[in-house]
Amino acid sequence: MPSRATLSILSVLAAACGASDPGTAAAPRQAPAADPAAAADPAAAADAARDRQELARLLEIYDTQTPGPKRDALARRIDQVAGQRYAAWSRLYWHRDLGAAMAEARERGLPILSLRMLGRLDQDLSCANSRFFRVALYANSQVSGYLRDHFVLHWSSERPVPVARIDFGDGRVLERTVAGNSAHYVLDSAGRPVDVIPGLYSPALFLEALEAARPAAIRSGALDQAGHAALVADLHRDLAERSRDRFASLGSVQIPAGGRSLVDAEMRAVSKAIVEMPVVRTLELGTQLTLEQARAQEKASATWQQIAAALLLKVGPARLDQRSRALFASLTPTDWARAGQPLPAGEVDALIAAFEQVMARAAAYNELALDLQSHQRTAAGAPASFEDLNRWVYAALFLTPAEDPWLGMATPGVFTALPRDGVALAADRTAAR
């Protein structure tokens, strides 16, 4: 009979607050570029107002068009004006200038939702999570309506997104992005962070997180820095307590395990492949699991599927609504067995169901192992500027600190038999012309 162990999904204090203070994690040598929380540029604010009017006009025209090249060209124009790829589906306007977003937020008495990402929201090849947001969240009728009525939207780029291009030599080319992650920041009208929502969430969980932070974000706009800091610390103490209570009530799941510990199993793995842990143990939600163990368990998808199911019983299922499903299908998923032909409709439905499972697992992990850590850090009084918080999120949560120009993809000590390890710099390409 396999040994049994009681582990926690919620408490990350042992790794995050015991061994080292997350607020004092090693800072990157160079902070990521961040939009300054400064007074709005009058020209940018005026441009944004004109763009919003233009977006409304273009969407009215779009709704009268029949499918075809003319409507496709109009959709591309809508994307340019809105600042978001597939804006004809979301109907959302995104500021690219934080000062202009702050000016609108003050005028309308609303908080700001700021997306931080790799790449650009208005391009296809942005980081994977931002692409998922466009389909699962922004196109969702309930989510887009909520964002339109309750937030001023803004996005900025952490850095360009790495793109891998594989040419098979016979006319087939595979192009994908790698090593990227995204976070939504709830900011007050002064551009100060109130909360962060890391990674992909289900629509229901995303709306819950926004609604939990929104009242404090509205109040914070009228406070000085000391008042803002106290309000945000109180909010995160409450959110951390709520998270503990919720996950303590989720029950237990059966988890695969092996070796001396989950951490040992991960550390022995040569690659980032799924850790094979054949012995079944019981994990009681609401006791104690370190962050390292949570990250090891993230690789056990069956475990997190069970955790997600328990969580989503409380907040609502991880499902794409009708509009999100239509956008999903319009992207023409490929039938890889038929030389890149579109998937038949029934197989698209199966692919949507598979994506919904991925979204559920991601939402559970991000809420459980990452967001709680953020609540604990902020409740402890860690620095609350956007730059400080964003630096910590990318370094400590996403494990892609700004000081690492290779985003963890460098291969020191590995012989590739390629000149300069296959690395080409912009100066090299310019000299070769």
Higher-pLDDT residue of 256, 137: 137
SS3 376: helix
> Which pLDDT band holds residue 165 (cuts at 50, 70, 90)?
confident
Query: Residue 88: left (phi > 0), alpha (psi -120 to 50), or beta?
Result: alpha
Mean pLDDT of 348-375: 90
Residues with Cβ within 8 Å of residue 161, at least 6 apart in sequence: 117, 118, 119, 125, 126, 127, 177, 180
> pTM (2 decimals)?
0.82
pLDDT above 90 (res 62): yes
Q: What is the mean pLDDT of residues 401-405?
A: 89
> Measuring CA to CA, which residue among 184, 82, 75 is closest to residue 132?
184
What does DSSP say about strands 112-118 and 152-159: parallel, antiparallel, or unpaired?
A: parallel
Q: What pLDDT does residue 266 have?
A: 31
Cα 259 from chain centre: 32
pLDDT tens for 268-300 read: 222 222 222 223 344 444 444 444 555 555 556
Find the mean pLDDT for residues 109-121.
97
Q: What is the pLDDT of residues 191-222, one digit of tens each?
A: 999 999 999 999 999 999 999 999 999 999 99
pLDDT at 259 > cutoff 80: no
Render pLDDT for 228-242 as a digit per residue (tens, 0 to 9). Answer: 999 999 999 999 998
* Domain limits, the chain: 13-426
Q: Which of residues 91 and 306 earns the better pLDDT score?
A: 91
Residue type, 188: D
Extract the tokens encoding 16.
Answer: 């995050």
Q: How far apart are the C-alpha atoms of 319 and 341, rounded to whole Å?
A: 26
Q: What is the pLDDT of residue 341?
A: 85
d(CA 78, CA 61): 10
Amino acid letter for position 178 = V
Query: Please, what is the average pLDDT of the chain?
Result: 80
Token pair for residue 201?
A: 């969430």
Run of H or E including 194: strand 193-198
- How does strand 334-335 pair with strand 341-342? antiparallel
Give 5-43 pLDDT, tens digit per residue.
333 333 322 333 332 333 333 333 333 333 444 455 677
Q: Which ranges of 366-425 does DSSP label H, i.e. alpha helix?
A: 372-379, 386-392
Show the CA angle centred on residue 267, arms to residues 262 and 268, nearest 5°.
100
Express each pLDDT in 135-155 by its tens digit.
999 999 999 999 999 999 999
